[in-house]
Amino acid sequence: MALPIHLAGTHWETLHPPLLEAGTYTVDPEPYGPPWRDEVGTREAAERGLFAPSGALSDGSPDTVLLAPGDIRGTRLILERAGGYCMGIDGSDGPNLACLGCDLPVGTRMDDCGCWQVVRLVPQAVVRLPSPPERPVMDWAELLATGALWHRLRAYWDIPAGVALAQVVVAAGGAPVEVAPGPVSGLLGRALGALLPVGEGAKRLDLAGPGYGEPAADLVLVPVHPQTREVWRPRAGAVPVPMDAALWAELAFPPHRTRLPVVGGLPPGVERDDPLPPHPLYPLQPSSEAFRYTLARMPAVREPWLRAIYDRV
C-alpha cells in the first residue's frame, strides 16, 4: 500500500488502532528511530526533504518496512528495550523485536498511547522470498464500487484534513480562497479564512474526482490512489490539490442516513432517538500538527509569506 497519510500526526494520550490492514505493507522512506539529533544544518535538512524547523531528526534507518503487528511471526520482544510512556511500547529505545532463529534485532513494535500500532522492520534485516502475487491495483471505478475507499480510521480524519489544508494553502500561493458551499466549506472554510487574506482575486476551491465530475473552480480537491499514490488529474484545467482518498470519498459521497419513520424494524444505518447516535463534542478541525508536518516537507515553505503562516500555527 502507499504510505498512509495518517503518519503526519497522532492523537496524544489516545490508544490508536493498527495503522495498516492485515495482509498489507508499506515502506517509509524517511529515517526512523534513534539516534536523534536536535540540531541539523539548513542544507542537510533540505537534502533530507525538510525545509522548515521540525524538531529532532532521526539518524536511524530509512526505508523501514511497516506491517500490522498481528502479521509478525517468529520474533520475540527484547524486554530491556520495551520502554514506553504509559500504556505500551513506544520504540524510543531502538529495535525491540528479535528474530527467534538468530536472536538479532529485526524491528520495532509500537503500541503506546499517541502512537499508531505498527511494526517497523529494519530494512537490513529483511529478505524478500517468493510469495503469492501481491494484491492487484484497483482502478478508481473498482475502488468506488467495492467501498474500498471507506476505511476504519474515521476518528482520525483531522490528520488528512490538516494535510489537505497545507496543500490548499500552497496551491493558493498566498491569494484568498473562496470555498464552494457544502462539505468542503464545513471542513476547511474556517481554517482557510484564518490563514489566508480576504478580498479580490480569490481562487475558488471545490471537489472533483472519479464519479463526481469537475465543477468550475480554480483549485479542486482530488483523491490520491491508496495503493499507488497517483493523484487523480482533472481535464478542465483546474489545479489539482491532493487529498486522502477516504476523506475525499466521505466528502464527495456522504453516507445516506434517513430520519424517516420505517415499518417492520430498523434497517442498518437508520438513526433513532433512543439512544442517540454518537456525535463528536466539537466540529472536525484540521490537525495543526499534520498541517505543519506537511508544510515542512514542501519547498514552498521557504517563501516569506508561507513561512510566516508556518511559524504562526
Residue 219, pLDDT > 90, answer yes
Mean confidence (pLDDT) of the chain: 90
Q: How far apart are CA 36 and CA 92, in angstroms?
A: 10
At 217, the pLDDT band (50, 70, 90 cuts) reads very high
Q: Between 130 and 293, whose confidence is greater?
A: 293
What is the crossing angle of helices 158-172 and 288-296, to 10°?
50
Q: How is residue 177 written as a grid cell?
A: 480562497
Predicted local distance difference test score (pLDDT) of residue 280: 65
Q: C-alpha grid cell for residue 217? A: 473552480
Q: What is the β-pairing status of strands 203-207 and 219-224?
A: parallel
pLDDT tens profile 294-304: 999 999 999 99
pLDDT score, position 171: 97
Q: What is the pLDDT of residues 254-288, one digit of tens each?
A: 875 555 555 666 677 766 666 665 666 777 899 99
Give 136-161 pLDDT, tens digit per residue. 899 999 998 888 887 778 889 999 99
**Planar angle of CA 187, 112, 115, nearest 5 degrees:** 30
Give the least confident one: 56-70, 115-129, 183-197, 269-283.
Answer: 269-283
Q: Are 161 and 169 in contact (CB under 8 A)?
A: no
Note the pLDDT of residue 34: 87
Q: Which of 121-130, 167-176, 268-277 has the highest mean pLDDT?
A: 167-176
Position with higher pLDDT, 90 vs 266:
90
Phi and psi based region of residue 13 (left: phi greater than 0; alpha: psi -120 to 50; beta: remaining): left
End-to-end CA distance of the chain: 31
Report the residue count for the chain: 313
Give how far Cα 72 sits from Cα of 69, 97, 127, 128, 258, Å: 6, 10, 14, 14, 42
Euclidean distance between CA atoms 61 and 73, whole angstroms: 22
Asked if the bond preceding 275 is cis, omega within 30° of 0, the reply is: yes
**pTM for the structure as a whole:** 0.89
For the segment 205-224, the average pLDDT, to the nearest whole number, is 96
pLDDT of 262: 53
Q: What is the predicted pLDDT for the residue at 88?
A: 92
